[in-house]
Amino acid sequence: MLSISSRFLVSVIIAMGVMAVQTSMSNLFWLLSVDMPISLVVFISTLLSDLIGMSFNGEVPIIGVVLVGLLIAFVVAHFVIKYTGLARVPGYMFAGAAALFAIVVLMPLAFYNLDLIAGARTFIGKCCLITGGALSGYFFAVTGDEGRAHD
């Protein structure tokens, strides 16, 4: 099995990947809706550049926000699972979803209701990103072997 830190980093990459792809897709679909031609090359290059650009560019790289959010959520989930007997998979899925919920719904409240992530401007966009957090929690839960005796 993967080490905890490797599983965690892959979980962050999953959440960040969903965020970048969802944001790129929503922007590209908007361009298509206003009759802007989008070729396959533009589509693929946009997805790749958004994955790198959203992750590492800016004053505060989004991947850092996702990393800190998931770290806090997974640590809390670890203790909740350990002391309550909650099953690992739903516990970590809820933790991942809660972390992304905080990032896309609660964090903008601190910034005058500005959505800092373009893909989170709509309700469907927020739902997709929160689902990405749940997927990252699912990966973290199913790839670990510690605490399996409790499941």
Measure CA 38 to chain center: 26
Burial 43-73, CB ≥16 within 10 A → b, else e: eeebbeebbeebbeeeeeebbebbbebbeeb
Give the pLDDT score at 60: 64
What digits encode the pLDDT tens for the residues 97-125?
999 999 888 877 777 776 677 777 788 88
CA distance 43 to 53: 15
**CA 118 to mean position of chain CA atoms:** 14
What's the CA gap between 128 and 122, in Å, rounded?
A: 10
Q: What is the pTM of this model?
A: 0.83
Q: Where in the sequence is the domain holding 46, given as residue range(s)?
A: 4-150
The confidence score (pLDDT) of residue 90 equals 95
- φ, ψ of residue 61 to 5 degrees: the values are -60, 135
Residue 146 zone, left/alpha/beta (φ > 0; ψ -120 to 50; rest): beta
Q: How many CB atoms lie within 10 A of CB 14?
A: 21
Q: Residue 151 has what pLDDT? A: 45
What is the Cα–Cα distance from 11 to 2, expressed in whole angstroms?
12
**pLDDT means per 10 residues in the chain (151 residues)?**
85 90 85 86 86 72 87 96 92 96 82 72 88 96 68 45
pLDDT of residue 7: 93
- Number of separate domains in the chain: 1
